[in-house]
Each structure stands twice: as structure tokens, then as C-alpha cells.
Amino acid sequence: MTWGYDSQAVKESVVPIKIITSVPTVFALGLACAACQSPSVPPTRAPGPEAAAVSTSPSAVKSFQDWLGAFRSEASQKGISGKTLESALTGVHPIPRVIELDRRQPEFTQTFWRYLDSTVSDARVRDGIERAQQNQAILAQLEKTYGVPGRYLVAFWGLETNYGRNLGGFPVVSALATLAFDGRRNTFFRTELIDALKVIDAGHITPDKMVGSWAGAMGQTQFMPSTFLRHAVDQTGDGRIDIWAQTADALGSGANYLKSLGWDSARTWGREVKLPPAFDAALASLDGGASETLKTLDEWAALGITAIDGARLPRQPIRAALILPAGQKGPAFLVYDNFRAILKWNRSTFYALAIGHLADRINGQGKIQGARIDEEPLSRDQVLVIQTGLKRMGFLDSEPDGVLGSGTRQALRKFQKAQQLPPDGYANRAMLAAIVNDRAFPAPITSNPSPVAFAESSR
Ligand SMILES: [Ca+2]
């Protein structure tokens, strides 16, 4: 589950990047996740002076123990039993590594192809097909009960924890206590910590077995405690919801959660499509939410878009948005309502595309066919150069922050239109060069010793 955390990074496995959103509604979903680095997600703030708060110095330890005492009283008032408080909070300690991971800023942006290579590898597809076969009976039951086909449940399972292999090794109570004590978003994590104690109080898991990501995402589906309380289910019928050790409980909880997010059992997530030559990239959505560019499949077909094999798009009353995750030269996707349900699980367009594609592959469909362009990712400094240039030219209103978000892509689109370039809002080194080489670019940016060679102008 997810709210903008990259649980790959959370678990320090595949992608050493973590991104945190600052959007409260995303936190409110109560999810923590697997693989969420998206250009659309704002990053964590830079380390502040409070970084010193969690340390092992005697005064810091005392300060944490004081905080824990006050928290314990609050938890008791909120109905957590004395037995649970004793077993869960005895020995709880701040974890400096959690703070380190929470503060880490990604050095590079992620590219779609590299993200896809790491999240939907051939090995993960093979594994997914095997897992789908092994769990055929339970998946069929879950589809009947919740209306979510098994291939999607297996895809979430694969992206979140590599099919239950990587639950994250952090003690959830200590990790959440660290984040609740630390001061940044402490209200959110304090509530999650209370909810974690409620999960223990209800007898679903013991504190020593409650492991998860550094940010408190738990079990095979990486549910935050609040999501667990709202959506986790006991699929095995033994009276305990064990999303750590009972695969059926984890898959059932994922299905129940997706149903609550509005999963449409009659539809898929979307499909790869082929654009006609000289297609107007301004019609593509910049972000996965995509409500501004919804059209019916018939309307997209009338604009010349076909299925990836050239066939006509299905004559179904489906409204879809067009996504170009690697710019106009890369693959194109029409995404449906279920894509937006996936985005509620994890607010990353790349993540949602990876879920859809992995589900398709598990279903026997082929690889993505759009052009593969192996671009180097942009560094934070390079994004800052792009943003500073766009701001000086009057296209960007907000302050440069080194993060590729929808505001930057919108500004880039305006620049591209002004330059009669395809307005796909896609930032890469060619766009960096185009901006730096633009006559309207007023002055060299001395604060950034630009490491890029400006030879690959797109014009
Ligand atoms: Ca159970």
C-alpha cells in the first residue's frame, strides 16, 4: 500500500530512491508501498535541524522516553489494553536508520524503462505466473467475492513484496514511534502507531512478528496500520488477520481494499496503443489522474489511435486518458477507471503502469512494444536547471525544487509549444539542452556546474 513511499527503497532492495508526498489526502489513504518513485510525486524535504532529534545520546534517549510516556497515556485513554501497552512498548527505541531513510532525497529522477525493468522483470513475470497457478483456488474465490481478477492481486503482491519474500525488516512499533517522535508529519505517524497497537490488541499479530518497512507498511501487501484496520480481512477463517504469514489473508485484504477503491470488475486497467504520425501530444495527460483529458475509445479512435497491433479500438463505452510515460517517442497507453483505482493504492503513474503490465504478462500477454529509448535519468541538479530556465522564461510559477512534478511538466509543455516542439511535457536531456540553448535563456546558471553535454538538442 502506499502513499508515495518507495517500499523498494524502504526495504533497501532494488531501487535506492525514496519519495514522499506531502499531499495529506495521499497520507489519508493510509498506504505504504512498494515501488513508487514517480515524477509526479514531490520529494521529501531537505534534512532540517530536527535531524538531530533522533540520536543515541543520553539526553535524546531521555527525551524519547519522556515522549513515549506521554504517548502511552494517550494510547491507554484511547482504549489500548495494559497488556498490549506492556508487550508492545517495552523496549521500543528510536531507529536512526528510519530517520535517515525518511530524509533521503533521490539523486536522480526515474525513467519509465528503467523503472519497468526493475519492477516487471522476466523473472518476476515467471514467478507471478507460478504464484497465480499455485493460488488458483483462492484467487478464483476472491474474484467471485470482490470482483478483482487474480492477476491483479498477484501483480500487487509482486510489486509490493516480491510475492511475500520481502516484508521489510523493521519492527513496526519502533519505526512508527521514531517517525511519530521525530516531528515531521508526526500527527500522521502518531495515529498510525495507535492503529498498530489496535492491531496487536485485537490479537492479529504479536509485536515481535509485526515487521514492515521503515515507514510502517506491513505484511505481504504492505498495508499501513490504518488501512489494515479498515480493509484487511481474515480469509482463512481462523479468527486472525495475518497478512504477514497467511497468503490468503494478504491476497483477500488486497482484494477487499481494491474493491473499496472502486475496482470495476467488468473492465481492465487500460492498454498499450499506437499513435498516428504527428499526433498532438497536448492531448496526453501529464499525470495518471488524467481527468482533464478523458475521451471515449470511439473519440480516441477518431483521432487515429489504434490498438498496438493496428486493430481498431474496442467499441466499448469506456472513457480513457492517454499516457505517454517516456514522452511522445516512447510507448503510449490509454488508461481506464481501474488505472485510477491503482493510483489510489499508490499515487505513481509508473507504479500503476507496472501493475497493469505485470497483470497482463501474468495473463500471457506480451511485452510493451513502444519504442525503447534507454535515456540516462536527469539528476536533481539538471532538473533544477530546467526549472530555473522555465521560471526565467515565465513558464513556471513555482520555485525550482529539483523535482519533476506536474507543475514542471505543465511549464515544459508551454515552452515546447512556444518552440513548436511536441508538447508532451517530458523532461529529458534534449529538453535540458533546448532550454539552456534558448535565446530567451537569460544568463548562465553559475550555481550549477552543469554536468551535461549540450550536444543533443532536439531541434
Ligand atoms: Ca486468518
- Of residues 32 and 290, more confidence is placed in 290
What is the Å distance from ligand 1's center to 248 Cα? 8
The confidence band for 47, taking pLDDT boundaries of 50, 70 and 90, is very low
Q: How far apart, in whole angstroms, are the C-alpha atoms of residue 438 and residue 417? A: 14
What is the Å distance from ligand 1's center to 240 Cα? 4
What is the Å distance from ligand 1's center to 250 Cα? 9
What is the per-residue pLDDT across 154-169, written as a single tens digit (0 to 9) for each? 999 999 999 999 999 9
> Which cell is 88 given?
508492545
What is the per-residue pLDDT across 360-399, written as a single tens digit (0 to 9) for each? 999 999 999 999 988 999 999 999 999 999 999 999 999 9
> Does the pLDDT of residue 71 top 80, yes or no?
yes
CB contact at 8 A, 154 and 135: yes
What is the Å distance from ligand 1's center to 235 Cα? 6
Taking the model in full, what pTM does it have?
0.84
What is the Å distance from ligand 1's center to 220 Cα? 13
> Which cell is 199 given?
492491531
The string over 180-198, giving b where at least 16 C-beta atoms fall within 10 Å of a residue's C-beta and e elsewhere, is bbbebbeebbbbbbbbbbb
Q: What's the gap between Cα 422 and its chain centre?
A: 27
What is the Å distance from ligand 1's center to 146 Cα? 17
What is the Å distance from ligand 1's center to 247 Cα? 9
What is the per-residue pLDDT across 222-231, written as a single tens digit (0 to 9) for each? 999 999 999 9
What is the Å distance from ligand 1's center to 239 Cα? 6
> Which cell is 457 given?
538538442
Closest CA to 288 of 308, 270, 267, 309: 270
What is the Å distance from ligand 1's center to 113 Cα? 38
- Considering the chain, what is the average pLDDT of its residues? 85
> Does the pLDDT of residue 434 top 90, yes or no?
yes
Maximum mean pLDDT: which of 31-35, 285-289, 373-377, 416-420: 416-420
What is the per-residue pLDDT across 202-245, written as a single tens digit (0 to 9) for each? 999 999 999 999 999 999 999 999 999 999 999 999 999 999 99
DSSP letter string, 164-214: TT----EEHHHHHHHHHHHSTTHHHHHHHHHHHHHHHHTTS--GGG-EE-T
**Residue type at 260?**
S
